[in-house]
Structure 1
């Protein structure tokens, strides 16, 4: 069954008419913190790859990586709160987001996860920070329903909703995310109250989690349905309007590790980011060269090309405070070399350039903070 339309939406806290200057400072501090997380995550990825899984330190590296990913998710939520009631929708790859949420919320617990993902899964246009809250809440509930362990089934597929389907949804294609546990189930008389604010069956619960899930999903044009019988577990299904593009992360495949050659130019004004990316590129077999802004990147790129040792790839930070950022730099690089291969990077996933990178001259996009695997994927995508 699905929640009644009479359910009052959970109102997220936020101040009306807050101090714009203070809010701007908060946003900038959060982005600086994301750069720190990028350095931590990158170094943990290298430490993990250099370590033997049988080593006693290995599980602690994995745990530190999970905690750092969790911290990054919190920065997205902090950004959402810092911007008040503003919802920033972008193209979201649900399969990638779900894997991150599962890793954080289920990793290290006695629960196991069974995946079933449609290889032709669509993306969704959504506020990623708020969707993260939804999936984290549902996964926490599933994990807590099985304190001694069990199986959590995560099924993600496209569904075509017709006018006579019985759903309270407009006809169209939706992405359905189902999370099923083998826990104690939900009493029949509790189900109709699950999404109401302040309703809880937990001793230490506050009744906010599922109410906020309902509110967030409804504001994305979707619904949440729950199917459960006491003693037989529960299944929560989230329906979200599907976008037009296919989720590139949906099709599971084992790729050989990247072992490259040649030089890559990295444009970033943060010395810690330069060091971390340089170490990762060195590990993958590339020589890293650096530029602090667009002007320096143009000079270094020209010099390398004219000396007969051109860069195979240029990675560009979208925003350089006080300097030429990636958008202006790619225009000038394209004027000099129309065949330049460039990737744009940013901690602002909702920026139009990050969403429509090809339109602006980039071959691919990579979001900060990113892991060694993310870097491998973008290199494979651009260089083959």
Structure 2
């Protein structure tokens, strides 16, 4: 990779709207991570069936995919701040019901799944609206750093949220839900007071053309198509984290404490990398850096696959998370900057479909392949597949491979997609 650009004196934290947005994101992310731990543990206590744990993911996955395109249309038709606020209020009400039923010992599996489904519906509408807000909160040259800072909130929540939720669960699931609800309430209050400037939306009726406008836009933009599809296939193939219990027990011969370290390592790597990215501008050779980062992700996967010692496996997963954060920041900023404001909701919705599909199917693919050829071979194949995808995408998307800046020139944006495939 090229040498980093100098640390700049300006910071996303100098912009009050971004600071308010960031604290709201921290509160809701911690609340959701704590909620996830409590819901999973509570359902398993009630039923004792592992299958029911899968249902939790299913009832969240279905609305995230089926409602993504309508949610993107809504995000481009109405004030995005209000959409995010409404989504968080719905989630807060669902959590309040969960807390009440748990404290009254009147909760049942079906009721929990229905409420989790309601939260999934709210999040389906909240995600594209929230993603589309970020470019308006900071100057465009600072967007990548703002995305890194924003990503640090999610990574910190992933590391500490489940541990805090598990600790509070000692006092009962109702306690976890109450604390989670308080965090969501804080997020909603911050969001309601956020000063956010959005151009007046251009109202259009909901037709198949407007719903699929994001898909059409992505197909016409080679660089946007390239980064979104690269994420899909790289995550789909490189899903080593889904097999961590197998590696912890059968390869590294460690216990639950070792599994906890393995699960935390990618998030720690991503969090520390987000701190570095927040202090440095990505202003040169962003295309090569992105491809190098995805290749690093694949190489780290290969090292993890062949490792037989805990410290090397932790180092590989740490590097995997760090490389993924670099790629994620570049991809996210590039998509937002190459998309006009009146299309950001619909493009973010399509991106959400790719992200959710790759995460869910990636775990399924890893598990299926591990059952067929073993966990080590499956992970090796995934790492090799990621490197192959990087090579193919560098060939199929030459403008992305040569991309120098996050903010493309008008001539680059108008280049037709037909030349790339």
The answer to whether the superposition gives a TM-score over 0.5 is no
Structure having greater relative contact order (Cα 8 Å, sep ≥ 6): 2
TM-score w.r.t. the length of structure 2 is 0.28
- Which structure carries more strand by proportion? 1
TM-score (norm 1): 0.30
